[in-house]
Amino acid sequence: MPDYGNMRMRLLTEVGFALEAFYAIEEVVGSRKLELHIDVNPDPKHASNIVTKEALGWVRGLGLEAKIKPESFAASTAADHCVRH
């Protein structure tokens, strides 16, 4: 059985890293549209659904647009690359 406590922290840490990356490039982005892609899945059959509402609330609470699976193609591509390479 998965350890959802650790998974929750890992997923939220990843969201934190995405936010750090945004703030690091915020000045360069300027007024251009930016969306944060988060590697979580709202489908209950996937373990990452345990943080979907919390992650979306965190990002949107900061005034940013968030995308989750299946629309979060950037996060999905990066996660696939890390797992397979």
Task: Render 14-66 in DSSP notation, one character per residue.
Answer: HHHHHHHHHHHHHHHHTTS--EEE-----STTSGGGGGHHHHHHHHHHTT-EE
Q: Model-level pTM?
A: 0.82
In tens, the pLDDT along 32-49 reads 988 999 999 999 999 999
* Predicted pLDDT at 4: 65
pLDDT digits (tens, 9 = 90+) for 18-32: 999 999 999 999 889
Look up residue 3 and give its DSSP letter: -
